[in-house]
Amino acid sequence: MKISGRSVLVTGAAGGLGACFVSSLLKLDAKSVIAIDIDCEGVDRLAADIADPRLVTKVLDIGDEGAVLSLFRELSERSIYPKILINNAGILCDGLLASNRDGFIRKLSTANWTQSLSTNLTGHFLMTREFAVSILSCPSSLPEASSSQTDAVIINISSISSVGTVGQSNYASAKAGLDASTRTWARELASDKIRVC
């Protein structure tokens, strides 16, 4: 995968794997790295730690469709057409489906279920969809659309939790959905030279 001279979008970029991705991409001579995270303090820390003019940071909830649409509209207005998307954002809202401990019945809340699916599945869907639209609508006059850079890549970060882990039915469901969506999107977008893995 060619990194040099390309713009890259990274979600969940404020810490952990995301911050490592951002740092490594800049070292590999990415044209720009758009680092997205819902954690405002984390985004500020990332910008201060890296201090590279090619780094663009954005506080964003990828589960918010309006915010995602606004992001891609802003990038288009600035003639930034990323060729690589790393869907790394993820959250944990652990809890057993239902339990009885010492006579107290507890259950996984609908809010926790919805929050997990919003970030871990719907957010990836929204980012992938708008990234694909961005690639398909990139003006042919821009260098990003040249024949040497037509291939685009979407990388969805998942985990083995999709097979089912106690206390993580919401997370496992989202990741299983993401795994299936990744395979589906790979087939759908292959003819447009957009790889999904």
pLDDT value of position 147: 43
Q: How far apart are CA 133 and CA 40, in angstroms?
A: 27
Predicted confidence at residue 149, as pLDDT, reads: 44
Q: What is the Cα 115 distance to its own chain's centre?
A: 16
Complete edge-to-edge strand list for the sheet that includes strand 32-37: 55-59, 32-37, 7-11, 84-87, 152-156, 194-196
For residues 25 and 149, which has the higher predicted lDDT (pLDDT)?
A: 25
Confidence of residue 162 (pLDDT cuts 50, 70, 90): low
Confidence (pLDDT) at 142: 61
What are 80-127's pLDDT values in tens digits? 999 999 999 999 999 999 999 889 999 999 999 999 999 999 999 999
Report how far residue 37's alpha carbon sits from residue 56's, in angstroms, rounded to the nearest whole number: 12
pLDDT of residue 146: 52
The confidence score (pLDDT) of residue 40 equals: 97
Enter the DSSP assignment of 40: H
139 pLDDT higher than 80: no
Mean pLDDT of 71-84: 95
Categorize the per-residue pLDDT at 165 as very low, low, confident or very high, splitting at 50, 70 and 90: confident
Q: Report the share of the chain in percent with pLDDT over 70.
A: 92
Decide if pLDDT at 170 tops 70.
Answer: yes
